[in-house]
Amino acid sequence: MTSNISNKILLSVITIFLLALFTSMAAVQLIAIAMIIYSLSFGNDCLSANKFLWRIAFFYVASLFIISYLNGDIESALLSLRRTWMILIAPVAANISSKLEEKHRRYLESFFIYASAIFAVIFLFQKAIGDPAISGRYAFHRAPYVASFILIPAMLFILIKEKILFTHAIIALIIATAMTLINSRGPIIALFAAAITALVFSSFDKKILKRIVILIIAISILVGICIGFDRWNFFDLSKQTSIVYRMVIWNQVIEEIKEKPLLGHGFDNFETDNQKTITVFREFATNETNPHNSYLMILHSSGIIGYSILWFVLGAALWMLKKSFLKNQNKWSIVSFSMLIGMMIAALADKTFFVTQICLEAWFLVGIGISEEKEDLA
């Protein structure tokens, strides 16, 4: 009886966290911080059961904090916390998941799918009525990149299902339509990369391959009808201004990285200087503080040392997820692993690994994905 009550409380906490993830950036941060503080203060079993994951998370946060402090002052170090603390939700999620039964994980999977569907429907409704609050591309007053990215796990859960119901097919179509109309290319590319990763995990299961092909065709048709391929042309620079802008920014970021290659300049210390823009890109010069590349961002902020730390943490997470999958064959490991791969691809064109809501979702999935392996990994 006590165990059932405890499980219901844990499920309620996770449900509230996920609901906030889809609706409010401020709320999800407060809830996540409260969950982390509670786990550290009262979750002794959490600390013992997930030592390895806690160590990885603290190593990542603390290392970049120290590097940022060496780069400037306490303010610079605090900025690094703002960009990295989200990883601490992973061991919290692992601890919670380890106490849940399989039926509870199925509930969480369904929640992801149906919450994403509702989120997508609300966006499409806002789009249809021309809500000025979303500027044609926003949902719940959130940047389009983030709004689109948080829909990816639901699509992955549907793609790897043993049997897809008609309801799931409709939801997949709704999510694909919303992601297309949000009109942010990064999450679409991340979705395709994640889907292909899931296909590899499934040993190229023909059902999943067929679904991925249908998904690619569906999104291609939607792009052609609703957006226009000329706006998503990656090869004609005269029509792909966002890529040209990124080239301008990357050129300047790389030059600044060369100045302090070991420890970098600290987080959020980059700003374009149009006087330094090389002639070929001069007409596309723009004022920007976002490097639009996670790898260049970590190199600029924390140097080669910080860059190496990021790759070590990602490698450790992927290794744990693969080990968990090989032992348990659970779909959470597949979705989590695939989501990280998708993020790694998308990170080539934006600050994906340092965006609060995207990281909270991804690291939460990682925690659940490895939770059944906690004893062997500790």
Mean pLDDT of 95-115: 88
- The answer to whether residues 87 and 363 touch, using CB atoms and an 8 Å cutoff, is yes
Measured between alpha carbons, how far is 367 from 98 in angstroms, rounded to an integer? 10
Mean pLDDT of 270-280: 60
Which of 59-63, 70-74, 134-138 is least confident? 134-138
Residue 343's nearest CA partner among 364, 358, 331 is 358
Q: Determine how many CB atoms are found less than 10 A away from the CB of residue 47.
A: 13
- Residue 290's nearest CA partner among 277, 280, 300 is 300
Cβ atoms of 26 and 122 within 8 Å: the answer is no
Q: Is the pLDDT of residue 28 over 60?
A: yes
308 pLDDT band, cuts 50/70/90, is: very high
Q: Between 274 and 210, where is the model more confident?
A: 210
Closest by Cα among 216, 184, 181, 211 to 199: 211
The helix/strand/coil state of 99 is coil
Are 80 and 306 in contact, with CB atoms under 8 Å apart?
A: no
Q: Among residues of the chain, what percentage have pLDDT more than 70?
A: 82
Phi then psi dihedrals of residue 150, to 5 deg: -75, -5
**Residue 279: predicted pLDDT:** 54
Helices (H) and strands (E) in the chain, counts: 17, 0
* Per-residue 3-state assignment (H helix, E strand, C coil) for 324-378: HHHHHCCHHHHHHHHHHHHHHHHCCCCCHHHCHHHHHHHHHHHHHHHHHHHHHHC
If you average pLDDT over every residue of the chain, what do you get? 83
Over residues 346-358, the mean pLDDT reads 90
Q: Which of 126-135, 234-243, 277-286, 304-313 has the lowest mean pLDDT?
A: 277-286
Mean pLDDT across 172-176:
95
pLDDT of residue 137 exceeding 50: no
pLDDT surpasses 80 at 286: no
Between the two ends of the chain, the Cα-to-Cα distance in Å is: 30
CA 303 to centroid of chain Cα atoms: 22
**11-15, 211-215, 270-274, 335-339: segment of lowest average pLDDT:** 270-274
Q: What is the per-residue DSSP string for 115-138?
A: HHHHHHHHHHHHHHHT-GGGTTT-
Q: Note the pLDDT tens digit of each residue in 175-206.
A: 999 999 888 888 999 999 999 999 998 888 89
Q: What is the pLDDT of residue 237?
A: 56
Residue type, 345: I
At residue 334, does pLDDT exceed 90? yes
Q: Which residues of 150-169 are buried (b: 16+ CB within 10 A; e: fewer)?
A: bbbbbbbbbbbbeeeeeebe
Report how far residue 172's alpha carbon sits from residue 259's, in angstroms, rounded to the nearest whole number: 47
Is 90 exceeded by the pLDDT of residue 1?
A: no
For 142, which DSSP code? Answer: B
pLDDT at 136: 43
Among the residue ranges 22-36, 64-78, 136-150, 355-369, the one predicted with the least confidence is 136-150
- Given its phi and psi angles, is residue 329 left (phi above 0), alpha (psi -120 to 50 degrees) or beta? left
Q: What percent of the chain has pLDDT over 90?
A: 44
* Tokens encoding 289: 């503080």
Residue 70 pLDDT exceeds 80: yes
Span of 49-58, 86-95, 123-132 with lowest mean pLDDT: 123-132
pLDDT greater than 50 at residue 128: yes
If pLDDT is split at 50, 70 and 90, which confidence band does 335 have?
A: very high
Please give the full DSSP string across 250-319, using - where no structure is assigned: HHHHHHHHHHSTTT-S-TT-----GGGS-GGGGGG----S--S-HHHHHHHHHHHHHHHHHHHHHHHHHH
Half-sphere exposure of 314 (CA within 13 A, CB side): 19
Q: Which of 113-122, 228-237, 267-276 has the highest mean pLDDT?
A: 113-122
